[in-house]
Amino acid sequence: MQINIIRKSHFVIILFLSGCVFFKSPENFEVAYFEKVGDYYEIELRGTRFLMVHDPVPALEGKMYVEEHIIKVPRITGEVNGEEIPRKKATISI
């Protein structure tokens, strides 16, 4: 009898915590911005993300942060092949 009560209480706690984490969802912002810089364009993409799982308290609280990526492309119209997008050199050899 005592074990069933403990299992039920653990189940309720797990449901509550999972609800905290999944209450918000990560998303990409609907608007991206671009700017001409010299002979290429920079496209700024932003969105919200969860804090990393190795930090359990904020993760359980559902805390999020805004992440930003900037992509450099040679032109803003037409088709851009992947080879045309400059990449950063890897700092870690694999």
Rounded to an integer, what distance in angstroms lies between the CA atom of residue 75 and that of residue 37? 11
When pLDDT is averaged across residues 50-62 and rounded to a whole number, the result is: 70
For residue 53, list its beta bridge partners.
none
When pLDDT is averaged across residues 23-50 and rounded to a whole number, the result is: 90
Q: Enumerate helices (H) and strands (E) in the chain, giving the number of each.
A: 2, 4
CB atoms within 10 A of CB 78: 6
Between residues 9 and 34, the one the model is more confident about:
34
pLDDT over 90 percentage in the chain: 34
Tell me, what's the pLDDT at 12? 62
Q: Full-prediction pTM beyond 0.85?
A: no
Question: Which pLDDT band holds residue 2 (cuts at 50, 70, 90)?
Answer: low
pLDDT in tens, 38-48: 999 999 999 99
